[in-house]
Amino acid sequence: MTRRTWARWLTISAAAWVVLYFGVKGIGGDAEPVLLAALVLSGVGTVGVVGMVNAITDEVDWTPPHRSRSRAWGRDARFSRLAQSFSDGSDPAALAVRIQRELGAVVDHRLESTYAVDRLADPQAARRILGDDLADYLEQPARHRRGQAARLAALLTRIESL
């Protein structure tokens, strides 16, 4: 602290002591000048320390270091993981197998939870619910074809509507 800051705090302390001392005397109280001075100095000292600490500390930034990406493929987290696989440089043939396997798992879960149908145990009932296009996609061996994004988008829309 500079000499000017010390002088200011001492002036504030003296003024506070004078106001309190003569205020207590004015209402007819018996004020102890030394005790009142200790009270004023401790209060002003506390305010001064808090002010100095506040001046030397930086403001805390509570923003997380990264924001999670919003899921563009619906409410199911598996769609987000698949969407990330498209851009990570995976082998297209292996990616096609993985996509078909993951979509099959999502479809099986939706069929069992919504319709109480097991796709492997009752393929005809599953085909009626899924539609021919989605059922054919899940039954045929997975293979990579260029330009299949529109078909996958239609299949995802159908899966989400289950």
On the CB side of 136, CA atoms within 13 Å amount to 5
Alpha-helix runs per DSSP H in 27-148: 33-56, 77-86, 92-110, 123-130, 132-139
What is the residue-level pLDDT of the chain in tens, covering all 162 positions? 678 887 888 898 899 889 989 998 899 888 888 888 898 889 888 988 888 888 888 777 777 776 555 555 456 666 666 666 666 666 777 778 888 888 899 999 999 999 999 998 999 999 999 999 999 989 988 877 776 778 888 888 888 888
pLDDT at site 67:
59
Q: What does the alpha-carbon distance between residue 13 and residue 45 come to, in Å, rounded to a whole number?
A: 9
pLDDT at site 76:
64
Q: What does the alpha-carbon distance between residue 78 and residue 129 come to, in Å, rounded to a whole number?
A: 21
pLDDT at site 9:
82
Q: What is the pTM of this model?
A: 0.47
pLDDT at site 58:
78
Residue 106 has what DSSP assignment? H
Residue 142 has what DSSP assignment? P
Return the ∠ at Cα 117 (arms to 114 and 122), rounded to 5°: 160
Query: What tokens does 122 get?
Result: 């009752």
Phi-psi sector, 30: left (phi>0), alpha (psi -120 to 50), beta: beta
pLDDT at site 117:
92
Query: What tokens does 55 get?
Result: 């001046």
pLDDT at site 159:
87
Residue 112's contacts (CB-CB under 8 Å, 6 or more residues apart) are 118
Query: Which position has the token pair 């197998």?
Result: 97
